[in-house]
Amino acid sequence: MKRGEIMLIEGVIRDFPAINRDMQDRKCWLEIISVSPGSNGEPRVDGGSSSPAQERFLKAMDERYYKKLQRIVNTFYPAYCELTPPESRVVALYYWDDMEIAEMTIELDYSYRYIQRLKAAALYKLKRACMDIISDVDAWREVEHNELSKAIRSLYSA
């Protein structure tokens, strides 16, 4: 694998927990919106007519940004589950727990070289899934960056 490909794959792997958390948060938010006032027949605050909760739920879950997050999770997670237990453990420790390979040798009782091979094998197995979703991950990063920028600006303006 080329160094550029490895960097893209590693970026997706590192971002996956935050993307999954964002998807779950977004889903909860959309569910709350879908059952907000107007769900049991009373007039809505904005003057519009109410619609059945199931219809509003389906409409809310069809949101484009949520669909992108769902696509990322539904593509990456099955590929991650196909890794062998030692490979998935190395990925989790290295990318999500920020553990160095030297520390993993003690934790897992594997040689340094074996851990490197496990990591390389895992990256190779995750390559296709990561490359399939890289544009969606980039879109997520852009939204995440914009939200962070807004939060920072609001702190300065307060």
CB 20 within 8 A of CB 137: no
Single out the residue of 11, 55, 15 nearest to residue 34, CA to CA. Answer: 55
Model-level pTM? 0.76
Taking only the tens place, the pLDDT of each residue in 33-87 is: 666 665 444 445 454 555 565 666 666 666 788 888 999 999 999 999 999 999 9
- The reported pLDDT for the residue numbered 29 is 78
**Whether the predicted pLDDT of 12 surpasses 80:** yes
